[in-house]
Amino acid sequence: EWLSNPRTQAVLALLSDAGHQAFVVGGCVRNALLGVAVTDVDITTDAHPERVIELAQAAGIRAVPTGLDHGTITLVLDGEGFEVTTMRRDVATHGRHATVAFSSDVTEDAARRDFTMNALYADARGHVTDPLDGMADLRAQRVRFVGDALARINEDYLRILRFFRFHAQYGDPAQGLDADALDACARGAGGMGQLSAERIGAEMRKLLAAPDPAPAVAAMAQCGALAQVLPGADPQALPRLVHLEAGIPPRWLRRLLVLGGPEGAPDRLRLTRAETRQLGQMRGAIATLQAAAELGYRLGPEPGADVILARAALLESPLPPDWQAELQRGGAASFPVRAADLPHLQGPALGEQLKALETRWLASGLTLTRKELLG
């Protein structure tokens, strides 16, 4: 029913009515087959980019050349963007970078994609074209490189990270990772240094947000890829965290916190300012703040939960009793004393006294009343 989106249909019809091939391709087909939510819809066609623009303009659809060098035009329909990319094939590989040319052959286009499960094509009626047997791999929850793993990695080292992230998202946790692919990742890991922080960050976010990233991260550490993106990171506590998280929605930043590594993480992953701030705050709180109610009061229940879970995973300690209720209680509480309650004080002295009373109040488990504090 994702295909029945009238805007997706309109884009496909725009191209096919003009006599071109048009397919939705990649992650959206994979996810639709898995019954997973489809976010972005990618479309591929044998129409060349100028032709896509021409057809869109004739139909009154806005066309933005977002990646002209990759042959990508974004069509905007009712505010929704559709990336339309002209099918391509590799002509020759000069050193690391493949030279590409446009193609009208789905099989050639598929050969340039990273994994077989990402090389699936669906037409407007939902008929799937599967030139590389990706459906069988998808069913078997097997992340398989298209072509020779090492050759594909040497073309684009990001594929190492994508291998682990797709395994975490769609792989069979019981099956482990393909030994040849892991070997290729180990050989290629040294090349990851040249990847941009944006690309690394985007993959790491998706990897760490997967239901259980721990086995993939452990394999990444073993082949040397983890040290390339998070030098000093230690994957040991991550499985403990995932275990403690049972029933709690995953948060990638919490998992990054447990994975650790130096303060450099923000640069290597291009964290947003808010993420950098949160990470710093959580690191500080792990070391200092102990009680769940105080964490809820100071940070709010959600970041407070991150700190409690991360600390328990890192220190191999049990979760404190009633920690979730305590976080909520702290989050809802407000310090009962106001400046107006201390009319005899002002300036720094007032501030100091308020702080002292707040410390007493926190030490009491947020139970002392205004009267008790002032009395």
Q: Which residues bind ligand ATP (CB under 6 A)?
A: 26-27, 31, 40, 42, 113-114, 118-119, 156, 158-159, 206
> For residues 22 and 327, which CB has a smaller minimum distance to ligand ATP in the complex?
22
Other CB atoms within a 10 A radius of the CB of residue 61 amount to 18
In the complex, least distance from residue 20 CB atom to Mg ion, rounded to whole angstroms? 22
- Please state, in angstroms and rounded to a whole number, the distance separating the CA atoms of residues 214 and 235: 8
Q: Cα 367 vs. chain centroid, distance in angstroms? A: 40
Q: Judged by CB under 5 A, does residue 27 bind Mg ion?
A: yes
CA distance 280 to 288: 13
Report, in Å, the least distance between residue 169 CB and Mg ion: 12
Work out which of 17, 36, 40, 231 binds Mg ion, going by CB under 5 A. 40
Smaller CB distance to ligand ATP: residue 61 or 195? 195
Pick what 206 binds: Mg ion, ligand ATP, none; C-beta below 5 to 8 Å, kind-dependent: ligand ATP
Smallest gap from Cβ 141 to Mg ion, in A, equals 19
Among candidate residues 201, 217, 203, the one with its CA nearest the CA of residue 267:
201
Q: How far is the CB of 60 from ligand ATP (least distance, A)?
A: 27
Query: Which residue stretch of 33-41, 98-106, 145-153, 154-162 sits at the interface with Mg ion (rule: CB under 5 A)?
Result: 33-41
Q: Is 41 in the site for Mg ion (CB under 5 A)?
A: no
Nearer to Mg ion, 201 or 304 (CB): 201
Token pair belonging to 64: 């933005």
Q: Is 352 in the site for Mg ion (CB under 5 A)?
A: no
Cβ atoms within 10 Å, residue 356: 11
From the CB of 204, what's the least distance to ligand ATP, in Å?
12
CA 100 – CA 112 distance, rounded (Å): 9
- Only segment of 39-47, 54-62, 199-207, 330-338 that touches Mg ion (CB under 5 A): 39-47
Beta carbon of residue 30, minimum distance to ligand ATP (angstroms, whole number): 6
H runs (alpha helix) in the chain = 6-16, 27-34, 49-58, 106-111, 134-139, 149-155, 158-170, 179-188, 197-209, 214-222, 225-229, 238-244, 252-259, 265-269, 273-288, 292-299, 301-315, 323-332, 347-363, 370-374
